Chain A
């Protein structure tokens, strides 16, 4: 199958010798990338911080995610303790992070820090996973987690509840801005996984009726500091 690559590429080059007409559009691009041109046509992300937070609040509510705004890290700890008590959590998994670790370590239930030698069976038995995030997108209500900064790939998907602790300045307007921030922050060394989480896991596969918690977390909490 060594020739498959060259054969497919030469088939493509042969096929493209006949040029297809460029699509005819109502709107002519005005220079810049497709995404930059499209920005004013997509859902709004909010021009000011207040507008972004208002949009985020509205979007997360529609997605059935819980947004809790707190003034500082101490208040975030108290909120997390409250949720752990109400839900009667026995075991909580987390990763090392200045916002996350102190909040989880203050809990009275069993705590387990995910490190490189972790056991997936043990993680499956955790009631909740607490993580930080890379960014929050106001336009869509999406939380961007990564394998580098959110405790790997499984912590935000395998436990039954996912709690994100983030700061207000992590809220970005839209997806386009978020991608450009990511390329700016990580450059050529992107984390092996970047995942936009938009509400708790869901399915409509049975009679198109919405059910939360298909395979991933049934509940999503966002604790926003600042």
Chain B
């Protein structure tokens, strides 16, 4: 049970069989669908707005080197400092050095999936720093010692009773069943931590080349506090987050909110262009941005799937995916769950080990329809399957395709094989064959017809 595929199959099978949990997730998503549709209807042409959003990202990603250089020049002229990281280890090392240089003790974080991608919390804790996740959902997941279930709704699978028990255990608060009271417990607990923290770590939703600003989208206000109170602000971002113009955000921000959470705009959309300026009464003394590659350039090198770098991490594809709704987010074992995670994880972590996620799809295309930046998600899952087959076919694939090729090109052999198959099917059903038995465990095989299709065609008037 050590490889990713076996773990995935085991976890997915368990989760899919948990009926009550599936009902709970579907109920939670029900409210999202209703709100998303209300907000989509406020767009005068949602489909064309998707074209525009896609184009804004296409222009930046397909001119990534120049756009990034323009961004970095502006960002540094505003007083911030950029650090480049080729991989996760470099990014962790840079952040640890910055924290050590600042002589900091306490670190407060706002929600950032890229820090999950580089496993930053583990590294910080090992180095002896106290790290607190300030987003409510992430805070709950941190206390649970569990990875986020969904990269926008991190604890959507957890029931309020469990959260109450968790808070009683870790914070010593009285039990309550009210989501409002539970939220206020976290609010009171975390407020003092912002005030005391020396370093605030955030992500970035967009980097604006025109102005050198980073844009952070959130609802709770925790990122605002994280970038306001500590002495040092460190942001971590993938290199693909850059857009060319400030007004590209006039399209992307409302679309991110509508597709991601069914809101007209998330509660706080904030642009930071540097540390505190002369004449401003607060803000951090230092502002650092770590730009992370971590195999994004490998995805960039595949023109067929390059548009996967357009992703704005809204999570809309997860919310509509029949696979996600049935197996949940934890079974994937990846930082990014759902269809977008299944597309990019094989690029980020290796196709050979993660190709099984390409099969975690019904190819229904709901993800592609939901994507606000028009990433061709379900076709990319097929592209990954094809690429895996070409680069590292399994012995079964090789044997099967060779055999199929041999038989299909010999009509008489094919007809004979069909006859044998029809005749022996009732017996074959009882033999537990590899691959087939797993499929047949939950499905019925219909009885074989008395005649082959070719015979039926001949016998009919067409013959």
Chain A residues near B (Cβ < 8 Å): 1, 4-5, 7-9, 11-16, 18-23, 25-27, 29, 33-44, 59, 62-63, 95, 114-116, 118, 120-121, 124, 140-142, 147-148, 151-154, 157-158, 174-176, 178-180, 182-183, 190-209, 211, 213-217
Q: Give, as a whole number of angstroms, the nearest-CB distance from B143 to chain A.
A: 13
Chain B residues near A (Cβ < 8 Å): 28-29, 31-32, 42-49, 51-56, 58-59, 62-65, 68-69, 78-79, 83-86, 90, 93-94, 134-137, 140, 153-156, 158-160, 163, 179-180, 182-184, 186-187, 190-192, 195, 211, 213, 219-222, 224-225, 227-229, 239, 245-251, 253-254, 261, 263-277, 279-283, 287, 291, 293, 297-298, 300-301, 303-304, 306-307, 374
Q: Give, as a whole number of angstroms, the nearest-CB distance from B419 to chain A.
A: 47
A203–B85 alpha-carbon span in the complex (Å): 33
A130–B279 alpha-carbon span in the complex (Å): 19
* CB pair B52 A211 closer than 8 Å: no
Q: Which of B48, B79, B140, B221 contacts A26 (CB 8 A)?
A: B48
Residues of B with C-beta under 8 A to A14: 301
What would 13 A/B residue contacts be, using CB atoms closer than 8 Å?
A7-B86, A20-B307, A41-B43, A41-B48, A41-B49, A147-B276, A147-B277, A153-B227, A153-B283, A175-B254, A196-B265, A208-B156, A215-B225
A163–B254 alpha-carbon span in the complex (Å): 24
Q: Which residue of B lies closest to A113 (CB)?
A: B281
A24–B333 alpha-carbon span in the complex (Å): 34
* CB pair B272 A23 closer than 8 Å: no
* CB pair B265 A12 closer than 8 Å: no
Q: Which of B54, B134, B291 contacts A215 (CB 8 A)?
A: B134
Q: A152-B283, A216-B221 are in contact. Are A20 and B153 (CB under 8 A)?
A: no
Q: Give, as a whole number of angstroms, the nearest-CB distance from B254 to chain A.
A: 6
A214–B160 alpha-carbon span in the complex (Å): 16
A158–B195 alpha-carbon span in the complex (Å): 10
Residues of A with C-beta under 8 A to B298: 15
* CB pair A205 B55 closer than 8 Å: no
Extra contacts, 4 of them, besides A193-B283, A194-B271 (Cβ < 8 A), are A25-B54, A41-B49, A120-B229, A206-B136
Q: Which of B246, B264, B270 contacts A179 (CB 8 A)?
A: B246
* CB pair A15 B300 closer than 8 Å: yes
Residues of B with C-beta under 8 A to A157: 221, 224-225, 228, 268
Residues of B with C-beta under 8 A to A19: 62, 303
A39–B154 alpha-carbon span in the complex (Å): 33
* CB pair A1 B94 closer than 8 Å: yes
Main secondary structure of the interface of A (DSSP, over half): loop
Residues of A with C-beta under 8 A to B227: 153, 193
A201–B280 alpha-carbon span in the complex (Å): 24
* CB pair A40 B300 closer than 8 Å: no
* CB pair A197 B267 closer than 8 Å: yes
Q: A16-B65, A120-B195, A204-B261 are in contact. Are A190 and B228 (CB under 8 A)?
A: no
Residues of A with C-beta under 8 A to B187: 213-215
A4–B301 alpha-carbon span in the complex (Å): 18
A9–B63 alpha-carbon span in the complex (Å): 11
Q: A15-B297, A34-B55, A120-B282 are in contact. Are A4 and B32 (CB under 8 A)?
A: no
Q: Which of B56, B182, B213 contacts A206 (CB 8 A)?
A: B182
Of A11, A39, A42, A63, chain B has the most CB atoms within 10 Å of the CB of: A42
Residues of A with C-beta under 8 A to B136: 203, 205-206, 214-215
- Considering the complex of A and B, which 9 residue pairs feature the smallest CB-CB distances, nearest first? A216-B221, A214-B220, A38-B52, A15-B301, A153-B228, A35-B247, A205-B137, A175-B250, A4-B84
Q: Which residue of A lies closest to B301 (CB)?
A: A15
* CB pair B281 A95 closer than 8 Å: yes
* CB pair A208 B271 closer than 8 Å: no
* CB pair B52 A41 closer than 8 Å: yes
Q: A25-B55, A204-B153 are in contact. Are A42 and B182 (CB under 8 A)?
A: no
A151–B283 alpha-carbon span in the complex (Å): 11
A142–B227 alpha-carbon span in the complex (Å): 20
Q: Which residue of A lies closest to B46 (CB)?
A: A41
* CB pair B264 A202 closer than 8 Å: no
